[in-house]
Structures are given as structure tokens and as C-alpha cells.
Structure 1
Amino acid sequence: MSPPLRILGIETSCDETAASVVLRDEEGGGRILGDVVLSQLEEHSAYGGVVPEIAARAHVEALDTLIEEALLRAGVTLKDIDAIAATSGPGLIGGLIVGLMTGKAIARATGKPLYAVNHLEGHALTARLTDGLSFPYLMLLVSGGHTQLILVKGVGDYERWGTTIDDALGEAFDKTAKLLGLPYPGGPAVERAAARNGNPERFDFPRPLVGDARLDFSFSGLKTAVRQAAQSLEPVTEQDIADICASFQRAIARTLKDRVGRGLKRFTGEYQSVDRPALVVAGGVAANQTLRQTLQSLCDGQGFRFVAPPLQLCTDNAAMIAWAGAERLAAGLPADGLNVAPRSRWPLDSEAQALIGSGKRGAKA
């Protein structure tokens, strides 16, 4: 039992500016009191991807207003807030600076504690806010920058079981869409194209790492196969695009079924005492209905509960950041000092071996 906590969350890691106020009650349950998200989709769509400088400037222009609106919707003032939680990484460094510096300023002015939150921890703990899950559980994080299978053992206690060895799944969707002349963001565009009577059996695209004992992922070879198929058909028709997208999604679904299925079996073997094990899916790609149906069927077959938070909480949002701050505060974890720095790279499992992108800024994933 802990006293009720009201946390202000700030999220600016990529191309959404967001602020939220979340309540954590005495029994550990959560409720979103006020939540505001401003998308920068129009600013970046002409470039086919996120432009970091444009994103950072947009955060600067909007963040103060969004925080004010979140507090207004929650019916509270800064005096009623118990702590500030701001995304500190991983993400685009310019955006992270905007959000974290704003959080620092509010914490300094109000005397409230500051929690510099790992964006991935926000995703990892969202299911406890929405569904009241107990530890441990397994999380599949699929987004534009990450594809990971993570064991969530407790607040601040995570073990990465698998990660991508090249591209993230969201990146594969975006690049496939761009290759086919579909709009940004690529995930929804590919899904819509596939739904236009696309034939998922027309192209037999590869399923990277299927059958491998490791739990890692790979999508670069699949992207290459899509490019080769499109080039062989030039000029592509609307039906060609629909068939390629449907076949691409089918290959992704079959890959996830194998990779995640092995993870579920490992969880069952290591945590036999857990009565109703759970798989949580998080990240923007979690909105894809074909992938959700695949994971739901997989969980049903292995006796797992499948938890997919509401779509607005799968993509970047500040409610998950506020909730992560509330969980850390309730668990008695120390707040961060005002000298804490943003981190463009920040693996959730600090003990995991870096597979890609290790350098001065740390491991990419």
C-alpha cells in the first residue's frame, strides 16, 4: 500500500509532443486524469520520415501549452502533482533535450522530485496501468526503432531475451511503403494497401531466423526481397502493391509466430508457478490488426493471456511516462538529480550484449 500519487508525464522522444497526468491509487491501480498528444505527422510526411531538427522545434513550440492543457483536463495544478516524469531516452536527442529540460525546470520551480524515464520502460509498464498485470510477464516491443522480446520481472528489472540484429519492424514497414510509393507513416499505409483485396499467397517472401534457437529478429533480408519483387514487376499496378503488402504482412506474421512462440515456451519453462502467464504487445506496430490476430492465436494455443493496450497507448504518449514515474516512486526508487542527461541510446536491459550500434553513445539496442 502506498499513498495516492499524481504524476505529470512529458514525452518528446520522437515526433509526438505529449503531456499527461496519471493517478496511482493506494492499491496500485492507475487512472489517466488528463492526456494530450500532438502529432507532427503533417510536418514530416513530405520527407517520408522524421526530420530531427523539425521535430525538436515543434516540441519547443507546443510543449508548454500541452502541459497546461493536461493539467486543466485533470483538474489539478502543479501544487497537486507529486512528481515529474520526463522521457530521458532513447530517442532523438533534440526532442529529448526539450522534454527533459522542461521537466527539470518544473521540478526546480515546484520542488517536486524528477524521474528521468526510459521510454522503453514506459511501454513495458503500460499493461499494469491498463490491465493491472502482476510481475513477471513477457513483452514484445515492436516500433519504428525497436523490436525486442523482454522479460518484465519488476519495476526497473528487465531482461532482454531477443532483439533485432539489423532493422526494427517499424522501419521495415516504413521502407516498404516508401519503396511502393505509399505515404508516411508506412505501417498504416501497408496495412490499408493489403486490405484492398491483397493476395498474401502471391509472393513467398523469406521468414528471417525462423527455426533459429535464438529469440532474435531480422528484417533486412525481407526488405530486400520486397524491393526485388517490386522491381521485377515495374511498373507496378495497384493490385501488385496490394499483393506485395499482403505477402509482406504474411511473412512478418509467420516470423513473429516462430520467434515469439519460442519465447512463450521459454517463459513457461522458467516460470512454471505463474498460473496465467501473459504476453504484452507494445509500440506503434502493435496497432497492426494482422499481427495482433497472429499473436492472439499464438497465445490462445499456448495458454497465455494476450494483452494489447488501447491503440493510443501503444504509440508514443505521456501517460505511460507518467505511469512509469509513479511506479518508480511507489517502489521507493530514487529520483534523479537535475544534472541527469538525456541519452539517445539507452537499452532497457543494461546487461544485454550489444548486437548493433555500440559506440560512444552506448548500445543502440
Structure 2
Amino acid sequence: MIGTSFYYTCKRALPLRKRIVSLHSAVKDLRLVLGIETSCDDTGAAVVDENGRILGEAIHSQKEVHLKTGGIIPPVAQKLHADNIDRVVNEALVSSGITPQELSAIATTVKPGLALSLGIGLSYSLKMVNQYSKPFIPIHHMEAHALTVRLLHNVDFPFLVLLISGGHCILAVAKNVSDFLLLGQSLDEAPGETLDKVSRRLSLINHPDCASMSGGQGIEHLAQNGNRKLYNFRIPMSQHQDCNFSFAGLRNHINHVIRKKEMEEGIQQGQILSCIADIAAATQYTIAFHIAKRTQRAILFCKKECLLPSTAATLVVSGGVASNGYIRRVLKSVTDSMDMALLCPPPKLCTDNGVMIAWNGIERLRAGVGIMNNTDGIRYEPRALLGIDVSDHVREANIRVPSLKEHFFG
């Protein structure tokens, strides 16, 4: 996909053949990065230039396969990546009109993620790097999510970032490209994982409205018609004065309530409860409350320590769960009440994709950091922190946060 305004300016002014020549001339002198993403269950690739134009992109989603199996099975994900990566990369290159020889670098997710999935992307990329003698830029998946917003908006460093997905829940200060302060993270499972597991426990795959949706999408869809106040799930870590997260205990509590309701209604697991929308609404509310409360403390800590600009400070929210409209609205209420701007990439760029990896490569090229001309010894890392962990300092600050307003939650 070529940058829209540029494309239509060319379209009005030039015949087709001249448009193609003009477009190619306009980008060939710019730095161009191919991004490859295989950290979990989506095979993504994209070509982006240093002006932020997405010249070509492609993605293969494994969603339908994993919906049927009730979760991601790593060897299955690995095989699907191996089967599709060549086609996806070539589709992105062909649609961009850029040849591998014209690339400035190849950027690829190497951490964190599923080991078997990361291995496919890294192996494929290194073959390309060697074949075309290109620099290699290893990418931290969560850094890419954090910086995607700068592809779309003029956001200066530093800014606060909340990364919420199926594999991560992180609060951090982005001080610069590849320079982050980790304020807090999930101590067990991520919010997207919790939503998926609750969805499976509610058997949403058997619900006519939700059968083709991911777990989080199904919960959000049903919650629109549910009454969250009918179930009072415990807010996790309410006595902990830090910015860490925990969702596993909440999931266990929700599962207990589901089992109890199944017994009351005399149904078996796999059948649909009559109160399913109310449980979905209460689940979504509790997760949103927990996320909002920790974010509120992070903002107060950043203000106390002067980690953000005194005016025009920004919270960036990204990752797959950032596509949840309800959670976005709650966070918007929080930032509005604390004189901060909230920015989220569009849902398409919140989920895993090649564009964010390519853009992270552009950011690193500009900054001159993390560019490898010799890839000997490069390895993927299934687990990897984002930046310097200062969560203990957050805890020691003992910041008490005011009560969240009820109207924040609708």
C-alpha cells in the first residue's frame, strides 16, 4: 500500500507508466527497510521508507487454525510460518515495487516470542541477508509496538507507553529509540491471554455471534449487551503500590463463577450460559480497571520523577488488546483527567504485522543503533525484558492513586 496522498497526487498528474517510473524514482534514494515478523502466529512482511510510507505489505494469519485447536500449538505455528513466509515476503516486495537489491536493510523480530516461530523468521532473514549482502537489524517485538505510533504521528521522546497483548502487559517510558525504562509488567499472564482463556471457558466458539472471532473480540462483542455490575470480580493487586500486573488469579476467579453458574443452570461445559454477556462485561470491566489503575500510578510516578514533559505529555497504547474499544475509552478518560494525550495506532497496526518491524528498522537506521553487518552468533530470544527495569523504584515511591471515576467505565 503506497502512501495515499502521494499515490493520488501521482495518479492525477501522470499516465500509469510514468506514475510507476516517477514513484520508483521518488523512493529509490530513500532508506528502505524490509520488515519480517514471526514472533507468534502471524507471518508478516512489509517494505517501509524513511518518510514512513508503507510501500508494500502482506500478512498470513493463522487465526482460524488456532481457533479450532483452542489455542496456539507452537509446532503447528512453526509449520505454518515455514509454509507461508516465502510467499508473504515476496508479496510484500512485489507490491512495493522494490527489489531486494534496493533495500537498505532487513529487520526481523528476534525477541521475545515463541521460540519455534522466531526461528523461522530469523533463519529466512539471514538467508536473504547473506544472499543480497544487506545489513541486518534485529528487532525487539515490544520496542516495535512502542514505536509504531511514530510512523503515524509526530511524537517526540520521551513518552509513556502501555503495551497490552496476548503475550505481554508492560508500562514503560520510551526515552529514545532502544532506550526504555520498564515501570511494570505482568507477573504471570497477559490480558489477551486471560481474555482468550475466559472465552474458551465460556465456549464462545459455539456461540453463533462469536464463532469466527478471537477470544478478546468475542468478549468485547458480548459485553456490549451485558451488565457488568451483576458480577463483582476482585481487582488484582489492589494492595500493591506498584505498576506490575497480574491476571491469572482473576481468571481463576472467573472460572469458578462460570462453574457455579453451569451447575445452577444444569448445563455442561461447552453449552452457552444464559448470563454469558454479563460475565463478559464484568470480565472486560475488571481487566480494564486493573490496567487503568496501574497506568494511573505510572503517570503519577513519571510526573513525580520528571520523566515526561511538563506539558503535552503523551501515553501511547499499542499491542493487540489496544484494539479493544472499551479499554481505549477507559484509558482516554484516565489521560483526559490527568492532562495527557492518548495515542493508539489503528487496530490493523496494533496486532502483529511487518509494518511495525520495518518501521523499527527505519528508526534504528536513523539513530545508528543495532545495525549488524556481521550476523555471526545472532540468536533469537524467547524471553527478553524491554529496557532497564526500574519497577522497584516505582514500588519504593509508594504512590497512592485517587479512586477512578465511575463514569470512566460507562
Global fold match (TM > 0.5): yes
The two structures, once aligned, show a CA RMSD in angstroms of 1.7
Please give the alpha-carbon distance, in whole angstroms, between the structure 2 residues aligned to 1:56 and 1:145: 17
Cα distance, 1:96–1:273 mapped onto 2, change above 3 Å: closer
For residue 45 of structure 1, what is the amino acid of its counterpart? L
| CA positional deviation for 1:204 | 0.8
Report the Cα offset of residue 353 of structure 1.
7.5
Match of 2:25 in 1: none
Name segments (4+ residues, structure 1) moved above 3 Å: 235-239, 271-274, 350-354
Amino acid across the alignment from 2:76: I
Match of 1:257 among 284, 287, 292: 292
Corresponding position of 1:92: 114
**1:211 Cα deviation from its structure 2 partner:** 5.1
1:363 alignment partner in structure 2:
none
Partner of 2:381: 343
Task: Encode CA deviations 1:10-50: one digit per residue, 9 max, x unaligned.
Answer: 0011110010001113xxxx221111111011221121111
2:73 aligned residue (29, 47, 51): 51
TM-score, normalisation: structure 1:
0.91
> Which secondary structure does the structure 2 equivalent of 1:268 belong to?
helix
- Residue type at the aligned position of 1:119: H
Q: Which amino acid aligns with 1:7?
A: V
Given that 1:198 and 1:239 are in contact with CA atoms closer than 8 Å, whether structure 2 keeps it comes out as: no
Tell me: CA distance 1:334–1:218, structure 2 relative to 1, closer, same or farther (3 Å).
closer
What residue number does 1:139 align with? 161
Q: Establish whether residue 21 from structure 1 lines up as the match of residue 47 from structure 2.
A: yes
- Whether contact under 8 Å (2:158, 2:308) holds in the other structure is no
Instruction: Give the counterpart of 1:247 among 282, 287, 297.
Output: 282
Structure 2 match to 1:357: none
Task: Give how far 1:312 is off.
Answer: 0.9
Does residue 220 in structure 1 map to residue 248 in structure 2? yes
Q: How many residues align?
A: 347
Pair 1:206 & 2:234 matched: yes
Larger of the two Rg values belongs to structure: 2
Matched residues in 2 for 1:114 and 1:133: separation?
A: 26
Following TM superposition, by how much is the alpha carbon of 1:96 offset from its aligned partner in structure 2, in angstroms?
0.9
The Cα of 1:4 is off from its aligned counterpart by 3.0
Task: Give 2:396's aligned residue.
Answer: none
Q: What is the CA-CA distance between 1:273 and the residue it aligns to?
A: 3.9
1:210–1:259 contact (8 Å) kept in structure 2: no
Q: Does 1:116 align with 2:152?
A: no
Amino acid of the residue matched to residue 229 of structure 1? V
SS at match of 1:319: helix
Query: Alignment partner of 1:320: what SS?
Result: helix
**Does structure 2 retain, via aligned residues, the 8 Å contact 1:92–1:344?**
yes
Q: How does 1:223-242 map to 2 (within 5 A)?
A: 223-234=251-262, 235=265, 238-242=273-277
Structure 1 residue 60 and structure 2 residue 97: aligned? no
Task: Give 5+ residue unaligned stretches, structure 2.
Answer: 1-28, 206-212, 393-410
Alpha-carbon contact 2:34-2:46 (below 8 Å) kept: yes
Q: Is the 8 A contact 1:49 1:185 kept in 2?
A: no
Displacement of 1:210 after TM fit?
A: 2.7
Show the counterpart of 2:24.
none
Residue type matched to 1:344 in 2? P
Query: What percentage of aligned pairs have identical amino acids?
Result: 37
